């Protein structure tokens, strides 16, 4: 009988353990379902033609390509394309309030290229980008900054001031920074349109692949809803 009881007790323990695992599995599945049923993280890409997708189909533009890449890695995210071709940083500031809706969880700011191409004093985009960051922070919306490098033919002094403004703003405000939005495609004719300034669809994919780890780091900093 002792042996039988031992077998019974062993079987009972296995049954209880199995029930415990089943309960744990059910609980995990419930949590997963709840997580999946929650709304996706809402991001806005606020920028110029590099964000808008100049001369590209909507699905090939940076925000759409980035959203696909993030979803492929399991992130529930939606990215609004708030890029406007020709926008300077000041123009982005002027339309900030209606470009970034309430309920936005984070904003990727990509502005300043047109300021540089027009040869504006770097103090001008710096002031505008700082104002954008300040107003978004006041609304409780985190910001990731995507920087730009100046054309080297603008001279050493200009290049240093322009390139440095993104690093300085990011440090001052504690932002996640991607230093150069066009990293990996600048100057590559095969990845840019004939104008030499705007990426092709393939060029956008290169941008997305390179910026993706930084965007993931940004997502990890967003407050839990």
Catalytic residue set: 49, 195, 198
Beta-carbon count within 10 A of 183 CB: 15
The Cα–Cα gap between 173 and 185 comes to: 28
Burial class (CB in 10 A: 0-12, 13-18, 19+), 193: middle
| 43 phi/psi in degrees, rounded to 5 | -115, 155
* Pick from 125, 75, 136: nearest CA to 100: 136
Angstrom distances, CA of residue 167 to CA of 27, 31, 137, 148: 45, 40, 18, 10
Q: What is the DSSP letter of 40?
A: P
């Amino acid at each position: 009988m002792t042996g039988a009881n031992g077998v019974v007790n062993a079987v009972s323990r296995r049954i209880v353990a199995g029930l415990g695992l089943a309960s744990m599995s059910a609980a995990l599945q419930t949590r997963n379902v709840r997580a999946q049923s929650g709304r996706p993280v809402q991001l806005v890409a606020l920028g110029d033609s590099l964000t808008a997708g100049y001369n590209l189909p909507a699905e090939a533009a940076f925000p759409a390509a980035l959203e696909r890449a993030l979803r492929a890695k399991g992130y529930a995210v939606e990215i609004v394309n708030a890029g406007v071709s020709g926008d300077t940083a000041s123009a982005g500031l002027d339309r900030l309030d209606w470009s970034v809706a309430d309920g936005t969880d984070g904003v990727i700011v990509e502005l300043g290229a047109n300021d540089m191409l027009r040869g504006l004093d770097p103090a001008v985009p710096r002031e505008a980008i700082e104002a954008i960051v300040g107003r978004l922070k006041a609304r409780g919306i985190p910001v990731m900054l995507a920087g730009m490098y100046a054309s080297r033919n603008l001279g050493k002094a200009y290049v240093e001031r322009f390139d440095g403004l993104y690093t300085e703003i990011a440090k001052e405000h504690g932002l996640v920074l991607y230093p150069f939005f066009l990293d990996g495609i600048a100057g590559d004719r095969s990845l840019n349109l004939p104008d030499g300034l705007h990426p092709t669809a393939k060029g956008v994919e290169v941008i997305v692949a390179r910026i993706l780890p930084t965007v993931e780091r940004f997502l990890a900093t967003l407050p839990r809803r």
